[in-house]
Amino acid sequence: MEKISAYGAQKSDADLEPLKIERRELLPNDVKIEIEYCGVCHSDIHQVRNDWGNSKYPVVPGHEIVGRVVEIGKDVKNFKKGELVAVGCMVDSCQECASCKDDLEQYCENGMVATYNGNDKHLGGHTYGGYSEMITVRDKFVLKVPENLDTAAVAPLLCAGITTWSPLRHWKVKKGDKVGVVGLGGLGHMGVKFAHALGAHVVMITTSPSKADDAKKLGADEVLISKNEEEMKKHQASFDFILNTVPVGHDTNPYIALLKRDATMTMVGAIDEIDVHGANLIMGRKRVAGSLIGGIKETQEMLDFCGKHNIVSDIEMIKIQQINEAYERVINSDVKYRFVIDMKSLKN
């Protein structure tokens, strides 16, 4: 085992601070990665503060990881030393269940292993994430990053990117479709970029008129203010697909009314409850669905698409020593649109 530097929290009400963690010795199918950048996801904050009641301490967050290969196991064929790679929200799965065989490891029926706060099958205890110097990962869960992209801005693609890409692809969004994106944050801004690149007519749906200019710069063709009842009525029954990124419980019925017959609104925010009136679904055979990140194959397809279309996240770079301040800013929606940690700062 190797001890390395990291940042983590020892309990739910503690700040993140420097600590040492252990990484396993290289196994035959492992890839050892020196981490260059790690994105900051709202899920990191929820886990650090035990908002979901399942945190394991110390928590070392981070599942938007980009770095370089420094060593490979003897059976690894697809990666080489020095290659630019990435790791997302999971680092292993059973590889045997129906979901894994369908390249949908995120739905592994025996439980996928989360990049942090998952069950560590090798060292025991729980896994530690990307707020650290190094990570060792099974090769099947390592992704290739196009070298033409801004490396730091790639990091949020590993969560915010795939979380929005997967439903757009699953529900077959195509050129000419009218697509709504509800909420302009870390997820929403990626949803707008992807839907635009896929050729859809993109409508940013927001409660905040002040976000209109930013939405259009990101690729939205229109901005619909959801508090404006007259404007909402004009758009009723006209959307082919709606991607709802709002991370808290809210009334979904005004958005369901925007859907065409047989159309779907997919929820990707981690919300507790949604208010859905059955009649709004029945009158038009409409659907409200959910989606969780994406499988490894799909995540690689997303990264390749981003390389082809030069798509990355809009980011603000920070040093690891600024992480506690960054958490407060995320909670206050004071970032456009994702923080990324320069992990070289861990050595300062």
Q: What is the domain-level CATH number for residue 195?
A: 3.40.50.720
Q: Which amino acid makes up residue 348?
A: N
Tell me, what's the pLDDT at 311?
A: 98
| Pair 261, 186 in one domain | yes
Cα–Cα–Cα angle for 199, 200, 203, rounded to 5 degrees: 140
Does the residue 253 lie in any domain?
A: yes
Tell me, what's the pLDDT at 248?
A: 86
Task: Provide the number of structural domains found in the chain.
Answer: 2
Does the residue 87 lie in any domain?
A: yes
| Pair 207, 63 in one domain | no
Tell me, what's the pLDDT at 272?
A: 75
The length of the chain in residues reads 348
State which of 243, 258, 290 marks the end of a domain.
Answer: 290
**Closest listed residue to residue 146, CA positions, set 86, 80, 218, 69:** 86
Q: CA–CA separation, 161 vs 305, rounded Å?
A: 11
Does the residue 295 lie in any domain?
A: no
Tokens of 93: 């799965």
β pairing state of 17-23 and 2-8: antiparallel
Tell me, what's the pLDDT at 249?
A: 85
Does the residue 304 lie in any domain?
A: no
The answer to pTM > 0.85 is yes
| Pair 142, 25 in one domain | yes
Structural domain boundaries, residue 276 = 161-290
User: Over the chain (348 residues), what is each successive 10-residue block's mean pLDDT?
Assistant: 94 97 97 98 95 95 98 97 98 98 98 97 96 98 98 98 98 98 95 98 95 95 96 97 92 96 94 85 96 98 98 98 97 94 94
Tell me the torsion sign for CA atoms 32, 79, 149, 161: negative
